[in-house]
Structure 1
Amino acid sequence: MRAYVFEPRERRQASLAAELENAGIDPLFVNADFFEVGLAPLTQPGNDVRAILIGESENTHAQIRTVRKAGCANPVIVLRDFRNSQDTSAALDRGADDVIVSPIKGSEVVSRINSIIRRFHGHAAESVVVGELTAFFDGRDPIVSGARIKLSKREHSIFQHLALNSNRVISKNAIYDAVYGMSADQPFDKVIDVYICKLRKKIAAAAESGAQYIETVHGRGYKLSAPDEFDLPAPDRPVGRGPRGIEARA
């Protein structure tokens, strides 16, 4: 998980970075110019999953407005030093998704970002069921036919982006930007094809049906969806439940 972080007080950046990194967030610290010249890439497909964490300053509310006026749908979380209900209300009214008060805990930041992202993509619960597959949005590896399959960090990043957009076609460029867009050492985009191949093999090997769940839509991208036989509930399977009694979650 990657995030842009604006923390104007340099003395706090090291401890904040350590807290976020320990929770699995890759922080990119930015200065005030980011809100004037750095927002354009965030409006591109695939970049809306990157959170923007804004440390408290006299310009906080103006920065929130600038982000939203630029058309960015990214999660915006304000990091405050002290609880202030009036200021919190103003930040939320101007477009912030959440406000977290010190001490900042990385695990809480991750959970709040995940909650915002999954709701933005239409998922109210912590997981979604696609045929024999249960995908989680909180960092857990997926379950296929009742067994958990282990994914590498990069595989998990790509799989989660597909899961957030399940049953919709997502372009390879959008996946690439979501996974590698902030990396200083970006590989060739063919690497996405390699990871998609690995994911297909792992899912098919674990699925009782042996079916392929990641479809290549030529000229458009990839789609995570259930094979035809799982599109409708079987006669002896209650609506809203997946294979092996796993409840479907929206």
Structure 2
Amino acid sequence: MRAYVFEPREKRQTSLALELENAGIEPLFVDEDFFESGLPPLTQPGNEVRAILIGESDNTHAQIRTVRKAGCANPVIVLRDFRNSQDTSAALDRGADDVIVSPIKGSEVVSRINSIIRRFHGHAAESVEVGELIAFFDGRDPIVSGARIRLSKREHSIFQHLALNSNKVISKNAIYDAVYGMSADQPFDKVIDVYICKLRKKIAAAASSGAQYIETVHGRGYKLSAPDEFDLPAPKPQTPHSLHGAEVRA
């Protein structure tokens, strides 16, 4: 999970970065210019899952308005030093999704981000069932036919994006941007095909049906959905058979 973090006080950046990293968040610290020139990429498909964490300052409310005016649907969470119901109400009214008061705990930030993201994609529960597969939105590995399958960090990032958009076609570019868009060391986009292949093999190996769950929609992208194999097969035609060794005749 990646997040843009605006924390104007440098002395607090180190401790905040450590707390977020220990919870599995990769923080990218930004300055005021981010709200002027860094928002357009976030309006592209796949980038809406990146949270924006805004530390307390005199410009907090203006920054929230700028993010929403730019058309960004990203989770926006304000990090406050002290509880202030009036300021919290104002931040929420201007477009913030949540407000967290110090001490900031990375695990709480992760849970709140996940909650916002899954609701944005239309999922009220913590998981979604697709055929024999259960995908979780809280960081847990998926369960297939009752057994948990272990995914690498990168596999999990790609799978989570597919699960959030289950039964929808997602372009490879959108998946790539969601997983690698903020990385300084971006691989070739073919790496998505490689990870999709790995995910297919792991899911098929665990599924009692051995079916594929990730469909390639040529020219458009990928879709996570229950395969047609779950349709019950048509009854086999009856053939003459023996009963106690004697052939049954009409």
Q: How does 1:143-182 map to 2 (within 5 A)?
A: 143-182=143-182
Check if 1:186 corresponds to 2:186.
yes
Inter-CA distance 231–102: structure 2 relative to 1 (3 Å threshold): farther
Q: RMSD of aligned C-alpha atoms?
A: 0.9
Instruction: Report deviation, 1:227.
Output: 1.0
**What's 2:126 paired with?**
126
How many percent of aligned residue pairs carry the same amino acid? 94
One-letter identity of the residue aligned with 1:25: I
One-letter identity of the residue aligned with 2:16: L
Contact 1:131 1:231 (C-alpha < 8 Å) held by counterparts: no
Deviations 1:195-245 (A, max 9, x none): 00000000000000000000000000000000124479xxxxxxxxxxxxx
**What's 1:246 paired with?**
none
Q: Please state whether the residue corresponding to 1:48 is helix, strand or coil.
A: coil
Structure 2 residue runs of 5 or longer lacking an equivalent are 233-250
TM-score of the aligned structures, taking structure 1 as reference length: 0.92
Give me the whole-angstrom Cα distance separating, in 1, the residues matched to 2:47 and 2:105: 24
Higher RCO (CA 8 Å, separation ≥ 6 residues): 1
Larger Rg: 2
Of 159-168 and 220-229, deviating more is 220-229
**What's 1:21 paired with?**
21
One-letter identity of the residue aligned with 1:94: R
**What's 2:235 paired with?**
none
Q: How does 1:197-216 map to 2 (within 5 A)?
A: 197-216=197-216
TM-score of the aligned structures, taking structure 2 as reference length: 0.92
Deviations 1:139-195 (A, max 9, x none): 000000000000000000000000000000000000000000000000000000000
Give me the whole-angstrom Cα distance separating, in 2, the residues matched to 1:231 and 1:171: 27
Give me the whole-angstrom Cα distance separating, in 2, the residues matched to 1:227 and 1:209: 10
Runs of 4+ in 1 over 6 A off after TM superposition: none
Q: Please state whether the residue corresponding to 2:48 is helix, strand or coil.
A: helix
**What's 2:65 paired with?**
65
Contact 2:211 2:229 (C-alpha < 8 Å) held by counterparts: no
Q: Please state whether the residue corresponding to 2:161 is helix, strand or coil.
A: helix
One-letter identity of the residue aligned with 1:152: S
Structure 1 residue runs of 5 or longer lacking an equivalent are 233-250
Check if 1:7 corresponds to 2:29.
no
Inter-CA distance 181–231: structure 2 relative to 1 (3 Å threshold): farther
Give me the whole-angstrom Cα distance separating, in 1, the residues matched to 2:176 and 2:129: 24
**What's 1:139 paired with?**
139
